[in-house]
Amino acid sequence: MKISIGLPALALLLTGCIALPPGLHVTVGGDANYYDAPTRTIALAPDQPMAIWAHEACHARQHEKILERDPASDNLWLYFQTPEGVSFLSASSQVPSGAVLEDEAWVCAWYYVDPSRLTSGGLAWAQEWLR
Ligand SMILES: [Zn+2]
């Protein structure tokens, strides 16, 4: 299997713009894009756009925020108990759900890839929490 990594995405990952869990793996070549917390793996289908790379890296970042408080946890729902997660719920007037984990990962992804796609509220939240 040939693995290719887009230079911008690689740069994003390696320059430390997004805090990622220790021991993170990236696999390319499957048929789906996801982050698997138990194995700390970003899995990407081939030839994905930068926003998808960033979105999955932002799920890994959610995990990193959890690990800062509980180094053994693989439960992404605990993101909602982190100060950042609490802030996102408040700023977006939402209750914890899988959809909110997705929303936050998209706000994070667009913040790094194309901030012009964010609402003013999303941009303000991202500037406060994602730096
Ligand atoms: Zn997602």
Tens digit of each residue's pLDDT (9 = 90 or more) over 25-34: 899 999 999 9
Neighbouring CB atoms inside 10 A of 20's CB total 20
Distance from residue 52's CA to the centre of ligand 1 (Å) = 9
Q: Which domain holds residue 95?
A: 7-129
Quote the ligand 1 centre to 59 CA distance (angstroms). Answer: 7
pLDDT, tens digit, 9 for 90 and up, residues 103-114: 999 999 999 999
Ligand 1 center to residue 1 CA distance, Å?
Answer: 25
- Residue 69 is assigned to a structural domain of this protein: yes
Question: 63 alpha carbon to ligand 1 midpoint, in Å?
Answer: 12
Residue 105 lies in a domain: yes
Q: What is the mean pLDDT of residues 106-125?
A: 95
* pLDDT number for residue 88: 97
36 in a structural domain: yes
CA of 31 to the centre of ligand 1 (A): 15
Whether residue 40 has pLDDT greater than 80? yes
Provide the sign of the torsion angle of the four alpha carbons 105, 97, 37, 67, taken in this order: positive
**Ligand 1 centroid, distance to 113 Cα (angstroms):** 15
Give the position of tokens 């756009």: 49
What's the 3-state SS for the chain?
CCCCCCHHHHHHHHCCCCCCCCCCEEEECCCCCEEECCCCEEEECCCCCHHHHHHHHHHHHHHHHHHHHCCCCCCHHHHHHCHHHHHHHHHHCCCCCHHHHHHHHHHHHHHHHCHHHCCHHHHHHHHHHCC
Which tokens sit at 4?
């290719």
Spacing, Cα 101 to ligand 1 middle (Å): 7
**Would 52 be classed as within a structural domain?**
yes
Domain count of the fold of the chain = 1
pLDDT the model gives residue 45: 94
Measured in angstroms, how far is the CA atom of residue 34 from the centroid of ligand 1? 6
Residues 78 and 62: their CA atoms lie apart, in Å, by 9
Domain-located, residue 1: no
- For ligand 1, the distance from its centroid to the CA atom of residue 2, given in whole angstroms, is 25
Is position 2 within any domain? no
Q: Is residue 28 situated within a structural domain?
A: yes
Q: Is residue 123 part of a domain?
A: yes
